[in-house]
Amino acid sequence: MEYLILIYADESRYETMPEGQMASLMADFASYTQALEAAGVLRGGAELAPVSSATSVRVQNGKQIITDGPFAETKEQLGGYYLLDCAHLDEALAWAGRCPAASLGTIEVRPVTA
């Protein structure tokens, strides 16, 4: 079954992170990604551009309304994702707990139903 691992954190933490700490975090993400690939569970993933680049679309009364920015103001922003193919939820949760960003924010695990 496929699970989406959604990575949420306060993106301002990354903007102010010392260069050495950021380099270490990126190395941790590279190792994590390699482990997912080696286990054969990785189906995709990507880092997202900052939330300031988001555009939201709504339809009201049959008219499309486009606004700059995210859907809602939050303390943590969606910064990236991994799509995993795991045997069960417990396996996906174990991988989510190993994500380097788990100590910096929240990792949401959601089954893909389609």
User: For a pLDDT cut of 90, what percent of the chain falls above it?
Assistant: 75
Identify the pLDDT of residue 69: 73
pTM of the model: 0.87
* pLDDT tens column, 46-103: 999 988 888 889 899 999 999 887 666 778 889 999 999 999 999 999 999 999 999 9
Supply 52's token pair: 């300031």
pLDDT at 13 over 80: yes
* pLDDT tens column, 44-58: 999 999 888 888 898
The DSSP element (H or E) to which 13 belongs, if any, is: helix 11-15
Show the domains of the chain with their CATH numbers: 2-111 (3.30.70.1060)
Q: Choose among 74, 54, 82: nearest CA to 9.
A: 74
Supply 84's token pair: 């995993």
**What is the SS3 assignment for 25-64?**
HHHHHHHHHHHHHHHCCEEEEEECCCHHHCEEEEEECCEE
How far apart, in whole angstroms, are the C-alpha atoms of residue 42 and residue 3? 10
Q: What is the mean pLDDT of the chain?
A: 93
* pLDDT tens column, 22-43: 999 999 999 999 999 999 999 9
How far apart, in whole angstroms, are the C-alpha atoms of residue 26 and residue 29? 5
Cβ pair 69, 49 in contact under 8 A: no
